[in-house]
Amino acid sequence: MIRGFIFDLDGVLVDTPNLHFAAWRKVARSLGFDLNESQYEELKGLNREASLIQILDWGNTKLSSQEFNDLMVQKNEWYLEMTATMISDDALPGVHEFLKAAKDLKLKIGLGSASQNARKILDQVKMTNYFDVIIDGTQTTKSKPDPQVFELGTKKLNLRPSSIVVFEDSKAGIKAAIDGGFKSVGIGDRKTLNAASMVYKGLYATSPLKVIEQFNFKS
């Protein structure tokens, strides 16, 4: 029995993955190398620190902890500049409708995001009020693919992982959902997210009822 939905933010509710990536590319270029499309997929879902560790590894670059922290701050400044003008209309297609329909079904609704900017972005796109619980990068110590972010949300919702569907656009997030015992729906490319139980191009392409029916049919 499905009782709750937990949504990732970046790439599921808002179209920000390309902005995170653009800011990380600026970081990489400032260090003398570049990032490519397949690295873009690998970075999705990782928190800020884990992302920079991965990027430095790709660039074969070592930094002092001061330089590391300064670059994380710099990346975030670039990211915030890029998202400063985001408003309600910048939600991905069908998201407001999907969240409203989930509320109408009396499902519990959580956010499980690695981003420390999650609350700010949710406020900008006027989505905060849909959520019964918001877990973001300010409350977690482990990056996806660790399931911690979803487990914290689940505890606060007082539900079991098996009664929750996680919606994710990243490979790391789908792995986190599966490892935590959650049901998983991929949002994006079917090939990239093939570990998920089902994949849709966007929330516009389905509805809460359809997702629940599909899981009931599977079990």
The whole-angstrom separation of Cα 44 and Cα 24 is: 11
41 scored as a contact of Mg ion (CB under 5 A): no
Tell whether residue 147 is a contact of Mg ion (CB under 5 A): no
* Tokens of residue 179, six digits: 């490892």
> CA-CA distance, 4 to 65, in Å (whole number)?
40
Are residues 214 and 198 in contact, defined by beta-carbon separation less than 8 angstroms?
yes
Residue 98, token pair as written in the block:
């999907």
Q: Is 51 in the site for ligand BG6 (CB under 6 A)?
A: yes
Q: Which listed residue (5, 7, 10, 147) binds ligand BG6 by CB under 6 A?
A: 10
Strand partners, 134: 111
Residue 8 known to be catalytic: yes
Between residues 9 and 211, which has the closer beta carbon with respect to Mg ion? 9
Between residues 27 and 165, which has the closer beta carbon with respect to ligand BG6?
27
Binding partner of residue 41 among Mg ion, ligand BG6, none, CB cut-off 5 to 8 Å per kind: none
Give 177's contacts (C-beta < 8 A, 6+ positions apart).
Answer: 147, 150, 166, 168, 183, 184, 196
The answer to whether residue 90 is catalytic is no
Choose which of 169, 171, 200, 203 interacts with Mg ion (CB under 5 A).
Answer: 169
Q: Which amino acids are annotated catalytic?
A: 8, 10
Q: Give the interface with Mg ion as residue ranges (CB under 5 A).
A: 8, 10-11, 169-170
